[in-house]
Structure 1
Amino acid sequence: MSKSPFLRAVSDDMRLRGYSIRTEHAYLHWIKRYILFNHKRHPETLGKEEIAAFLTYLAVERHVAINTQKVALNALAFLYQKFLHIELGDLGFSLATKQRRLPVVLSAAQVAHIISELDGAASQIVQMLYGSGLRVSECLRLRIQDVDLDRLHVTVRDGKGNKDRQTLLAASCIPWLQLRISNSIAIQQKDNALGVGPSLPHALGRKYPSAFRSPAWMFIFPSTTLCAHPVTGELCRHHLHESLVRKALSIAAQKIGLCKKISCHTFRHSFATHLLQAGYDIRTVQELLGHNDVKTTQIYTHVLGQHYAGTVSPLDRLG
């Protein structure tokens, strides 16, 4: 994203506060849209009326989802309250009413069929998404220190909402994880000989100058090439890109003739639904997924074959 001097200043402020790259990109996107919506006027000359008009426009004219409108609101709240130090008060805008759709969930047989059509890193990543309930970004960011092969758990660091959590690790993943960890360390050692290593979070590289040599910080799914660090610009090795998994999934779904529109997130949905089907309580599933509110987890009860405490259709009681 090309940045004006103003947007660069906003970006620098977010980095000082430790915001993630994904949050930074999302906020800058909505701040830029807001400025363009107001004919490129400087935000300092605008107020809560213009903010309310923009958020109402997103809901009424663009028909955005509730969560999309919330992200735009959070971006503008950051802009005014934290960057410009201007209190907004009550905005009084129209809330988006487009309801969240029920998640697409696969059967266990469909999950197994898709995994059988995948190979290499794509297969292993999908196994982690389904086996641990990870978001694809969380899976790709995993480092060697985040996977405990003895205690069978995965630590997700700086997940959604900047939260850490622990979730399950499938025992069937151990053999290929051991091999992948060994290969990642070998790649790291070659990179270290060139004076480079894995990309490191925030200012950790400055605080611990030799951290890039520690196997603990190496990605389990490292990129095949070196690149410039998104913040510092230094040469490093990042993790694989999400597009690798998406493309492989699209091809696999076509091969098996799957008549459902799936994504990487489908396997996280399936993880949650299948745990509930197996009788695990919803609070446990909530914890594994990292949801703040159990209401978010409850959506999976609506896609179960026998939800609402085992209620069955009256048609099945006839005869």
Structure 2
Amino acid sequence: MEPSSPTPSAAPPRLLDRVRQEIRLRHYSLRTEQAYVDWVRRFVLFHDKRHPRDMGVVEVEAFLSYLAVERRVSASTQNQAKSALLFLYKAVLEQDLPWLGEIVQAKKGRRLPVVLTQREVRDLLQQLNGTMWLVCSLLYGTGMRLLEGLRLRVKDVEFERREIVVREGKGNKDRVTVLPENLLLPLREQLQRAQAVHRRDLEAGFGEVWLPDALAAKYPRAARAWGWQYVFPGNARSIDPRSGSERRHHLLESSVQRALAAAAHGAGISKPCSPHVRIYSPPVS
């Protein structure tokens, strides 16, 4: 009887899959994963599809200098690309690159912020209605950033104390901001609509929301709990690109940005408006 041939070992994971794996092991956000994978792909294509293990600091410097000199990207964009490539070499390929001091840095210009007057904000909000009006009113009334507002969970709205708890804000810090009195009733009505959506999802066999990995493991039932649902749920369920689970995410940033741009046009505001612009407050005499 002839001995059986050994079972061939599984093929090693491809480079980009290894990048994703290492990012997920460190519980980085999906947005960071997408950005890092994209920069690694661009780096490989820039060097005619050579494998990064056959390249090093010279090739990294050439790519980052190209971004600064030829593409004229912003300093923050170049820094993101640099972080992605350093992660690739240190965490994925386990190679230490020397200090990249010779890289041509994209110059970070100083810009004055766009500031809207209180009248302009009123005119802007008058062009909006429904959910978009409430989202933008919250952003301008509380000082939250766009993603902070869209990621707001039901449990973090404190009606009695008129507070909103912002979780994992800038710098991965929590903070508390004031909930404007004129938004109490509209926000309660929004929660009623969101709860109706959540009930329908539960009846259809869904109803889970994304939770950070540690929380999802520690509290497996929390993903279906009402308190963890988004205040502004999306219009449809979608497939989580990491787990493959069908869930309802929050509203998309782009939908709010488009609505705000259309409102600015309707209000005749020529300044570039975004959810992050500041509101002018006259000095107190």
Instruction: Give me the TM-score of the superposition, normalised by structure 2.
Output: 0.88
Superposition map of 1:104-183 within 5 A: 104-183=114-193
Q: Does 1:259 align with 2:265?
A: no
CA distance in structure 1 between the aligned counterparts of 2:181 and 2:58, rounded to whole angstroms: 55
Structure 1 residues not aligned, in runs of 5+: 280-309, 311-319
Q: Which has the higher helix share?
A: 1
Select which of 185, 189, 197 maps to 1:187.
197
- Distance in 1, matches of 2:283 and 2:148, equals 25
Kindly indicate which of the two structures has a greater share of residues assigned to strand: 2
Residues 151 and 250, structure 2, Cα contact 8 Å, conserved in 1? yes
1:207-246 → structure 2 map (5 Å cutoff): 207-246=218-257
Give the distance between the partners of 2:184 and 2:173, measured in 1 at CA: 25
Is the Cα contact below 8 Å between 1:147 and 1:154 reproduced in 2? yes
What SS does the aligned partner of 2:116 have? coil
Alpha-carbon distance between aligned partners in 2 of 1:161 and 1:73, rounded to the nearest angstrom: 19
Question: Post-superposition shift, 1:191?
Answer: 1.2
Q: Identify if the C-alpha distance between structure 1 residues 254 and 93 changes in structure 2 by more than 3 Å, giving closer, same or farther.
A: same
CA gap 1:89/1:150 in 2 versus in 1, 3 angstroms: farther
Paired AA for residue 17 in structure 1 = R
CA gap of 1:167–1:60, structure 2 versus 1, over 3 A, is same
Structure 1: distance between partners of 2:174 and 2:55: 37
Amino acid at match of 1:243: S
AA in 1 matched with 2:79: K
The 3-state SS of whatever aligns with 1:238 is strand
Q: Tell me the SS of whatever aligns to 1:175.
A: helix
SS across alignment from 1:128? helix
Pairwise CA RMSD: 2.0
C-alpha distance in structure 1 between counterparts of 2:251 and 2:134, whole Å: 12
- What is aligned with 1:68? 77
Higher Rg: 2
User: What residue ranges of structure 2 are gaps of 5+ in the alignment?
Assistant: 1-12
* Aligned position for 1:291: none
Q: Deviations over 1:222-278 (max 9, x none)?
A: 112111123211111111112221221122112121111212222xx33xx53xx55
- The 3-state SS of whatever aligns with 1:185 is helix
The counterpart of 1:102, out of the listed 109, 112, 118, is: 112
Stretch of structure 1 that moved more, 45-54 or 192-201: 192-201
**Count of aligned pairs between the two proteins:** 271
Give the C-alpha shift of residue 101 in structure 1.
2.4
Q: Normalising by the residue count of structure 1, what TM-score does the alignment of the two structures yield? A: 0.79
